[in-house]
Amino acid sequence: MIIILKQNASKEDADNILDEIEKTGLKPLFLPGVERIVIGAIGDERLLNEKQFENFPQVDQVKPVLSPYKLVSREFNNGNTIVKIGDVAIGGKEFVTIAGPCAVENTLQMNRSANVVKKAGARILRGGAFKPRTSPYSFQGLGLEGLKILAAAAKEHGLPSVTEVVEVNDIDAVEQYSDAFQVGARNMQNFRLLTELGQRRKPVILKRGFAAKVEDLLLAAEYIVAEGNPNVILCERGIRTFETCTRNTLDLNAVPYLKTKSHLPVIVDPSHGTGLRDLVAPMAFAAAACGADGLIIEVHPDPKSALSDGMQSLYPEQFATMMQDLNKFVLAANRTML
């Protein structure tokens, strides 16, 4: 850790901080510059977090040398973690597509969806039972009933399933009916939820918050892993920027960046990342090209009648065509699709 003092800081101010560092067991360094005093601390700087040197009145800046996350970092584990949802491995050689409607609406819709996405090559079924919606006047999901419909459709078609969990109290139900937990963008920093999921064994798809830095995403994953659940899949789904022609700005830079910093699998959601049906396929191809391990995509048997996110849901035939073209990019990236 590097600590830069204010211009008017005294030797005494510096001594004060040097003492604190020494007490923690790290090696303090006194580096008087021409215009500023700089202080260094050698050792595991995470021990200094509780000292909060930025609070000291004569401190101008505190610059950490190490990243604030540890267990999810490549420095901790330089391999590639492979996470299994049901019997499907994510993070290995296979490029995996998760697909299905935004929301579970009824049995017929889920069965048609499962049939369509399986035939086109998707390996996992998605569908939301608990829907966080910006407006209280929008459809809020079927809840437990939705979980059951999803589970039945998944079983019927031999696909594992994933669904969003929005509340600690729903974890048991989601765990019972689904093969993986999905944490939505709005809950990426619901730390209580993350902590509880860290105590379960089923995998967690952790979506990046729409105002979360990549570092925030890795720290959120660290919450889960630190509690004992190593099965985390990171998901880039677009961030909020000044651009309004698309629903979000899909930050594909984050994909290769995450892969260099973390050993966890990374998937991309081009449906929320664009918000526009016609942009889903090209951005899915781009995701495969820049190193993602898979996709999560909204497909609806009849987008016109979808109760949520119909504007970004693919038609069944669009999805089938996309999957065929996707295969070429997956091969170019030295990956395979089943």
Nearest approach in angstroms of CB 32 to its own copies is 8
Give the burial class of 60: count Cβ atoms within 10 A of its Cβ; 0-12 exposed, 13-18 middle, 19 or more buried.
middle
Q: Which of 233, 216, 167 is nearest to 194 (CA)?
A: 167
Q: Which two tokens stand for residue 87?
A: 């019997």
Nearer residue to its own copies within complex by CB, 85 or 224: 224
Applying CB under 8 A, which of residues 101, 128, 203, 273 lies at the interface with its own copies? 273
Instruction: Answer whether 58's CB lies under 8 Å from 18's CB.
Output: no
Tell whether residue 267 is a contact of its own copies (CB under 8 A): no
Question: At CA 111, angle to CA 109 and CA 113, rounded to 5?
Answer: 65
Q: Which of 234, 287, 296, 322 binds its own copies (CB under 8 A)?
A: 287
Subset of 201-230 contacting its own copies (CB under 8 A) = 209-211, 213-216, 219, 222-223, 226
Q: Dig out the tokens for 101 from the structure.
A: 């409607």
Residue 182 bridge partners (DSSP): 164, 205
Interface with its own copies includes 338 (CB under 8 A)?
A: no
Q: In what order do the strands lie in the sheet with 2-5?
A: 27-32, 37-42, 2-5, 59-63
290 scored as a contact of its own copies (CB under 8 A): yes
Scanning residues 235 to 264, which ones bind its own copies (CB under 8 A)?
A: 239-246, 249-257, 260
Question: Does 333 interact with its own copies (rule: CB under 8 A)?
Answer: yes
How near is the Cβ of 94 to its own copies at its closest, in Å? 18
Tell me the β-bridge partners of 124. 98
Binding mask 164-203 for its own copies (x = CB under 8 A): --xxxx----------------xx-xxxx--x--------
Number of residues that bind its own copies (CB under 8 A): 107
Task: Tell me which stretch binds its own copies (CB under 8 A): 52-60, 84-92, 117-125, 229-237.
Answer: 52-60
Which lies closer to its own copies via its Cβ, residue 158 or residue 256? 256
314 binds its own copies (CB under 8 A): no
What minimum distance in Å lies between the beta carbon of 232 and its own copies? Answer: 13
Q: How far is CA 206 from CA 68, 114, 143, 224, 226, in A?
A: 18, 23, 20, 10, 15
CA distance 322 to 255: 21
Binders of its own copies among residues 73 to 112 (CB under 8 A) are 75
Tokens of 309: 């996110």
Give me the residue label for tokens 């995701």: 287
Closest CA to 272 of 308, 225, 325, 317: 308
Does position 163 bind its own copies by CB under 8 A? no
Site for its own copies in 122-151 (CB under 8 A): 132-140
Asked if 31 is part of the footprint of its own copies (rule: CB under 8 A), the reply reads yes
Q: Is 332 in the site for its own copies (CB under 8 A)?
A: yes
